[in-house]
Amino acid sequence: GFLEGCRPVIGVDGCHLKGPYPGQILTTVGVDGNNGYFPVAYAVVDIENLGITNEKAWVVISDKQKGLVPAIERVLPTAEHMMCVRHLYSNFRASYIGLALKHILWAAARATTVP
């Protein structure tokens, strides 16, 4: 994975797509110990634009590391910041051992409506 095998370098770039589908591809890559590329993320977009027009529509899901929370609040002050359920479960299982509560937690996470 990225943390185990890559150098602490991240490259971000974009290029125009040439062909029947217009747009741009934006990529983020790491560099491994053999100077190979490790893809971190990519997106195909209409235009390269750093402006976010509707901040309230954004939800950021993360492990809520200490430095990440203030950074997201600074960049997207009106966005919702939620905790990844996998990380939430890791904290949860330290205090609540057993499968019954595990299944209830994951069922709640998968629920599409509130009862």
Residue 93 lies in a domain: no
**Structural domain of residue 11, as residue ranges?**
1-50
Residue 93: its pLDDT value, please?
84
Structural domain count of the chain: 1
pLDDT > 70? residue 51: no
Q: Is residue 7 part of a domain?
A: yes
Residue 79 class from Cβ within 10 Å (0-12 exposed, 13-18 middle, 19+ buried)?
A: middle
| pLDDT of the residue at 2 | 65
Of 50, 47, 51, residue with least CA distance to 15: 47
Q: Is the pLDDT of residue 60 over 80?
A: no
Structure pTM?
0.46
Query: CA-CA distances (angstroms) from residue 33 to 3, 12, 27, 28, 40?
Result: 12, 18, 20, 17, 15
d(CA 10, CA 29): 6
pLDDT in tens, 66-86: 787 888 788 778 888 888 788
- Residue 18 domain flag: yes
Q: Are 102 and 89 in contact (CB under 8 A)?
A: yes
